Structure 1
Amino acid sequence: MNWKEQRELRQTQIKALEDERKDLAKIGWKSMGKVEKEELYTKINFDWDNMQRFIRDRIPSKEGYVALEIENYCVEKARKLK
């Protein structure tokens, strides 16, 4: 197998893992109630406000950080449900 085929194989594997992660995040998000979602937003905003400045400077935006943390939480929740 040459390097182009290996690269394509890795890219398809990564795409499959990303799709699986998105599906898990959707399942986790749908299983959460309104109160739990609000508590999650509050916790993430609290974490952002208390994060050290040099770490915050490395993260591109607060919106990106919030989206990533919500996705991570939803994926973990969906894995616990299964």
Structure 2
Amino acid sequence: MAERERDREQHERLFKAASNPLRKKMAEKIGNRGITREELKKELGDVSDFEFKFNLDYLIAEGFVVEKDGKLYLTEDGVDLAYGG
């Protein structure tokens, strides 16, 4: 698969998200299959409700994750975050 061209802003967003271990772990857990918020929270284990919501909201706002029909899915940028693309 050919690597997409990224501008500086995209690189900075990806770096900022990847620098947070919880955000990276969230992206990895969501994976390619999609997952509900409840399933994700359960898979993450001991994460406070505030920390969970804050970081998931960040991933959604920055375009790494989308929510559709009650499930969370990675965007193309989210796949890069999860799998180091």
Shorter chain as denominator, the TM-score bin is under 0.3
TM-score normalised by structure 2 residue count: 0.27
Task: Say which structure is richer in helix.
Answer: 1
* Bigger fraction of residues in strand: 2
